[in-house]
Amino acid sequence: MGAVEKPRTEVAAPASWDYAPAPEAREIVSFERRYGLFIGGKQVSPKSRTWFSTISPSTEEPLAEVAQAGQKDVALAVDAARDAFRTWSRRKPAERAKVLFRIARVLQERARELAVAESLDGGKPIKESRDVDLPLAAAHFFYYAGWADKLEYAFPGRSPKPLGVAAQIVPWNFPLLMLSWKIAPALACGNTVVLKPAETTPLTALLFADVCRQAEVPPGVVNIVTGDGATGAYLVREKDIDKVAFTGSTEVGKAIQRELAGRDVSLTLELGGKAANIVFDDCALDQAVEGIVNGIYFNQGHVCCAGSRLLVQESIHDQLVRKLKRRMATLRVGDPLDKNTDVGAINSSAQLERISELVQSGVEEGAELYQPPCRLPEKGWWFAPTVFTNVAQSHRIAREEIFGPVLSVLTFRTPDEAVEKANNTMYGLSAGVWTEKGSRILWMADRLRSGVVWGNTFNRFDPSSPFGGYKESGFGREGGRHGLEPYLRFE
């Protein structure tokens, strides 16, 4: 047989096989120049007469002005909620259910618009806000709508009744989704709410107010008060609230718990974490790498349950780290509105500083830093995906929550050692276990002191699945049948 070399007609390649920008159309959402507070079903100017700008962290451009709610504003909101509670709690549960179903439907109908707003205001990639945040937000309302008229089945033998007015404070990492986690169960149980979105991400909450208008939510059932930490403090100090639900930093959570000491206010907290992602040598290797990447780089690592500590079995450390670094090099950091972006902007300059400081400490304490080559945009706040190897348990980067795209790699030898290291923290929100051996996943799950254990997966959420922490990661559960309990009292 002759030589098989055949001269081919070459197809001339472009300079690089690059995904050309694929921007989601920004025009789908339009913001008001200025938003008031949403109280009693209306937009109202703040009595404080103070406003501030909300900025797009990927471009540093101001998006809109929002109100800084003062003490009087917060009091008015609570009054409106109390007023509305009288009728809302007495409404037929099946009718309350229908209101919530409507909210779910409107969220689905306006999903794209809200996803773009979320990415602009918060910095997360459109791929995530479109495929994760919005669908889950709608799903939470669907799920809890169905419980509104079935509470007697959720708590057999007990007579559940609503608590009253719930004060709810949500963070900036999943603004609309966290709002859904708070509002859906609260309303389903017959409560009314005053919700304070995070200072840097108020816009989707304010758009949610418009969703409430479309769904014909009765005035005062949902109230939105924007502002910074001071607004949150006023809200928690209000006398006429029956419940506080807070998701945010452990530090603020403790402050709230102190504030409520001695008061008759029900409290749930969802705080920080320093989750261990535990990888055994018999794992499905390539999928474990995906899971590690998802665990810490999804949402720029701004996730309370992020897998920020990789505990890898020593026997496969080198091989895994090699694969991980190669995979990190394919992560695309950039414009949140670009559909090809994997990692978006850091939410604020303050957060960027915190991340940088901790990363610096990692270097100083002797860990080895790696970042794939990454061209970061000129404007905006960005941090390249980062991994530290040679990390010791005592390093700050292994103990403190960084809340950024920074992974610390540690090793272990046996399952017992993995459990010990994973539990050796004041946090206890989540953990991941990677092994093809089913019994070991269950054995680990049994012993891990965390509220969520992901086996061969990570960062999975569902409205029917209860979520919450052990220890200083907080108490109370959101999602599932158990997520109803914090919003009810039982005679």
Partner 1 sequence: MSESLVTHSPGGYAPALFRRSIADALEMDHGVDAVAAEERAASLAKRSLKKDAKVWGLKLAISMIDLTTLEGKDTPGKVHALCQKAMRPEPLDPEVPHVAAVCVYPTMVPFVKQALKGSAVSVAAVATGFPSGQTFTDIKVQETRATVAAGADEIDMVIDRGAFLSGRIGQVYDEVVAVKEACGDAHLKVILETGELGTYDAVRRASLVAIAGGADFIKTSTGKGSPAATLPVTLCMLEAIRDVHDETGLVVGMKSAGGIRTAKEAIQYLCVLHETLGVDWLTPDRFRFGASSLLNDLLLQLRKQRTGIYRSPDEFTLD
Partner 2 sequence: MTDRLPVRKTYKLFVGGAFPRSESGRTLEVEGHNVARASRKDARDAVVAARKAVAGWSGATAYNRGQVLYRLAETMETRTDALAAASSGRREVARAIDRVVWYAGWADKLAQVLGSSNPVAGPYFNFTLPEPTGVVAVIAPDEPPLDGLVSRLVPALVGGNAVVAIASDSHPLAAIELAEAVATSDVPAGVVNVLTGLRSELAPVLAGHMDVNAIDVTGADGDRAALEELAAENVKRVVRAKEDQSPWEIASFMELKTVWHPIGR
Catalogue the active-site residues.
Answer: 270, 304
* Residue 439 contact partner, candidates partner 2, partner 1, none, CB within 5 to 8 A by sort of partner: partner 2
- What is the C-alpha separation between 347 and 14, in angstroms, rounded? 34
Q: Which is nearer to partner 1, 73 or 342 (CB)?
A: 342
* Residue 480 contact partner, candidates partner 2, partner 1, none, CB within 5 to 8 A by sort of partner: partner 2
Min CB(24)–partner 2 separation in Å = 25
The stretch near partner 1 (CB under 8 A) out of 107-115, 223-231, 244-252, 282-290 is 282-290
* Residue 2 contact partner, candidates partner 2, partner 1, none, CB within 5 to 8 A by sort of partner: partner 1
For residue 83, give both structure tokens: 């007023």
- What is the C-alpha separation between 421 and 393, in angstroms, rounded? 8
Strands laid side by side in the 266-270 sheet = 42-44, 37-39, 222-224, 192-196, 165-169, 243-247, 266-270, 474-475
Answer for the pair 119, 57: CB distance below 8 angstroms, yes or no. no
Question: Which residues of the chain form contacts with partner 2 (CB under 8 A)?
Answer: 94, 97-98, 101, 139, 142-143, 145-150, 153-154, 415-416, 438-440, 442-443, 446, 463-464, 480-481
* Residue 240 contact partner, candidates partner 1, partner 2, none, CB within 5 to 8 A by sort of partner: none
Q: Which residues contact 16 (CB under 8 A, 6 or more apart)?
A: none
Site for partner 1 in 181-240 (CB under 8 A): none
Residue 14 engages partner 1 in binding (rule: CB under 8 A): yes
Report the relative pairing of strands 62-67 and 34-35 from DSSP bridges: parallel
Crossing angle between the packed helical segments 229-237 and 71-88, to the nearest 10 degrees: 50
Residue 457 engages partner 1 in binding (rule: CB under 8 A): yes
* Residue 395 contact partner, candidates partner 2, partner 1, none, CB within 5 to 8 A by sort of partner: none
Of positions 83, 210, 259, 282, contacts partner 1 by CB under 8 A = 282
Residue 251 backbone class (left: φ over 0; alpha: ψ -120 to 50; beta: rest): alpha
For residue 470, give both structure tokens: 């052990």
* Residue 94 contact partner, candidates partner 1, partner 2, none, CB within 5 to 8 A by sort of partner: partner 2
Residue 416 engages partner 1 in binding (rule: CB under 8 A): no
The stretch near partner 1 (CB under 8 A) out of 33-41, 84-92, 230-238, 279-287 is 279-287
Q: Which is nearer to partner 2, 367 or 484 (CB)?
A: 484
Give the start-end residues of each E strand in 133-274. Answer: 160-162, 165-169, 192-196, 222-224, 243-247, 266-270
Half-sphere exposure of 229 (CA within 13 A, CB side): 7
Residue 13 engages partner 1 in binding (rule: CB under 8 A): yes
* Residue 8 contact partner, candidates partner 1, partner 2, none, CB within 5 to 8 A by sort of partner: partner 1
- Characterize 453-486 residue by residue with b for buried, 16 or more Cβ atoms within 10 angstroms of its Cβ, and e for exposed: bbbbebbebebeebbbbbbbbbbbbbbbebbbbb
Residue 22 engages partner 1 in binding (rule: CB under 8 A): yes
Length of the chain measured in residues: 491
The stretch near partner 1 (CB under 8 A) out of 148-156, 241-249, 250-258, 286-294 is 286-294
Q: Which is nearer to partner 1, 260 or 285 (CB)?
A: 285
Min CB(155)–partner 2 separation in Å = 11
List the one residue out of 217, 212, 223, 180 whose CA is nearest residue 95: 217
- What is the C-alpha separation between 93 and 102, in angstroms, rounded? 14
Amino acid at 443: W
Q: How many CB atoms lie within 10 A of CB 307?
A: 30
Give whole-number Cα distances, 379 to 170, 241, 272, 336, 385, in Å. Answer: 27, 42, 29, 13, 18
Q: Which is nearer to partner 2, 145 or 346 (CB)?
A: 145
Min CB(416)–partner 2 separation in Å = 8
List the one residue out of 246, 247, 197 whose CA is nearest residue 222: 197
Site string for partner 1, 428-447 (x = CB under 8 A): --------x-----------
Question: Would you call 153 exposed, middle or buried from its count of C-beta atoms within 10 A (0-12, 13-18, 19+)?
Answer: exposed
Of positions 30, 330, 394, 439, contacts partner 1 by CB under 8 A = 330
* Residue 384 contact partner, candidates partner 1, partner 2, none, CB within 5 to 8 A by sort of partner: none
Q: Which is nearer to partner 2, 342 or 478 (CB)?
A: 478
- Interacting residue ranges for partner 1, rule: CB under 8 A: 1-9, 11-14, 16-22, 127, 282-287, 290-291, 330, 339-340, 436, 456-457
